[in-house]
Structures are given as C-alpha cells and as structure tokens.
Amino acid sequence: MDNSVLDIFHPVIKEWFEGNSWTPSPPQEPIDAAANFLGGVNSPIEIIKPDIEKSKDLEVQLPVKDFRILEQGTVWPDIYDVLHKHIKQNESTIVFVNNRATATQAGFLPELDRMVLWRSH
C-alpha cells in the first residue's frame, strides 16, 4: 500500500499496514491504542482483558491425495466426506472459502445427514 493511501489512516492502523501485508485483521496490541481508536474521540472507555491464552487448533486438510485422480469426476464428494467427519467429531467447525460459488456448494453439506447448522448467510 503506498504512503498516500496510508496517510488517511489513524496512526495505529497506518503502523499496522506498514508492517503486515498478509492478514486481513490488525492485531489488537497495544490494547489501549486499539480501544481508544474504537471508542472514538473523547469517549470514555474501559478495557476488560482476561489474563488467559486461548488454545487454537488449526489444520489445513486436503480431501484427496492427488487432485488429478478423482474417482467421481469431481472433488466435492470427497470434500463433503471430510467436512462431515470433522463436524461430527468437534463441537464447532468454521469452514473458510474464497468465493461465493464455493460457499454455495459447501452449503449443501447439511443435507447429507439432515444436520442442523447455523450459517451466517
């Protein structure tokens, strides 16, 4: 991002953009600067931050070993199988996709097992 665009941002956001180009969300540190920015000008703020570290379990899984060899001519049945097993084994599952068509295709997953899922769209 060039400096002419960065000049319109609040200093906290500008500093973040200059150091990070790979993530869509800025870090929330320093917490007081983030709170002041979100609270607005001359707004009283109270920071409530528990001293706990959340555990994270992140995995990238491929539904097939070789995408050139698809038994059913498409990868979707394999994707459905992997997602279905994962959802059944865990309390919560978030599936990230990179376009609307993939989100629509992934939306058919509940029909496999008549699962009731909450969806954002």
Overall domain count for the chain: 2
CB atoms within 10 A of CB 79: 19
Q: Are residues 24 and 67 in the same domain?
A: no
63-114 tens-digit pLDDT: 888 989 898 898 888 888 888 888 888 877 777 788 888 888 777 665 666 5
Query: Is residue 48 included in any domain, yes or no?
Result: no
In a domain, 7, yes or no: yes
pLDDT tens figures, 27-47 = 567 778 777 877 777 788 888
Is the model more confident about 60 or about 16?
A: 60
Q: How confident is the model at residue 22, as a pLDDT?
A: 44
Please tell me whether the overall predicted TM-score, pTM, comes out greater than 0.85 for this model. Answer: no
87 contacts: CB under 8 Å, gap ≥ 6 = 93, 109, 115, 117
66 φ/ψ angles, rounded to the nearest 5 degrees? -135, 110
Structural domain boundaries enclosing 96: 53-121
Asked if the structure places residue 8 within a domain, the reply is yes
Pick the range with the lowest mean pLDDT from 11-20, 43-52, 99-108. 11-20
